[in-house]
Amino acid sequence: MTTGEAERALQEARAELAAARELEEKALAAFEASKLDPKAEATREAHDRKLGAELLRGRAEAVVRLAEERLQESRAREAEAARVARYREAQSLKATAEKRLAEYPAAALIIQDILASVGAADAAIAAANADLPAGAVPLEHPEQLVRGLPGEAEVVLSKTVKPGRWVYVGPHDHLGDVAPELISKIEHTTRNGKSYGKDYGRIPMDRSRLEFAEVARTPDRVVTAYLPARPAYRPESLANTVALPGLLPGTADIWAPAGLSGWGGMPLGQDGPEVAAQAAALREAAAAPPSDPRPPRQQDTRVEVVKAAQLPAPADAESAA
């Protein structure tokens, strides 16, 4: 029986118990009322019905208890089945991990060879680029070519010319822009013939008082939408970032970071000889037998204080002796 089936059986049993209890209450009430009936037969019949209802209620309670036990057993079985499934899955993953761990040294040595190859190429490329043959172009370093990104020049998306505006200046600058219908009324010369120029002038404010407001034209503006240039991306050298410890305790590292940081601005390939030397040193260290990496154990002393109540009585000590 599944947990779902057991739960449904328990619900049905509880419903039957509730009905049996309701029937018992009605039978009990009828029995109490029958005691006032002058006919003794009526009381006996009511008493029999009450006993029958009590029996049904007792049977329903037993069925509920049995259903509850079966539900608990079903839940326990399913919980145990889930634990067994998790355990077996863990066993399977454990076996897979152990198998893959055994593959680690060979895979790590392949990576070591890759890093050594890159270091050797970097050293050779740096030497060749420092003294190029006639007409030869500099060689790119492998990591910059494979893992880096080239620089990107600025890209102009659009250019828009924004014409200048006529605005009030001087004491009237609070008036802001000159209304479009007043632009044609701008005077570029004074009464005595002085020229303001094409980008400066005045507007009559009150001719009766010869009051003028000075105006000026703001410069034209060129609005350019563009994508800014981006420098080339220079990756951090793998030889300087990868760490591959040995598999077993006390075995030499298969690879430890070596070389100079690629972010320091040094020429690419400068760390090639150092990377090659690191690879040779690690290959030599790998031939050494493994040693226990833990510090040696040293003798120590531990003192424990025992309460007086726990000490044996003198008589007991003498008898023990």
Banded pLDDT at 78 (limits 50, 70, 90):
very high
Please state, as a whole number, how many other Cβ atoms lie within 10 Å of the Cβ of residue 93: 10
What digits encode the pLDDT tens for the residues 5-58?
999 999 999 999 999 999 999 999 999 999 888 888 999 999 999 999 999 999
Tens digits of residue pLDDT in 296-321: 899 999 988 887 666 666 665 455 44
Q: CA-CA distance, 242 to 110, in Å (whole number)?
A: 13
Q: Mean pLDDT lowest for which of 73-77, 149-153, 269-273, 302-306?
A: 269-273
Output the pLDDT for position 20.
93
State which of 208-222, 223-237, 247-261, 268-282 shows the largest mean pLDDT: 223-237
For the chain, the straight-line distance linking the first and the last C-alpha, in angstroms and rounded, comes to 66
Listed in sequence order, the residues at least 6 apart from 239 whose beta carbon sits closer than 8 Å to its beta carbon are 115, 118, 119, 257, 258, 259, 271, 275, 278
pTM for this one? 0.59
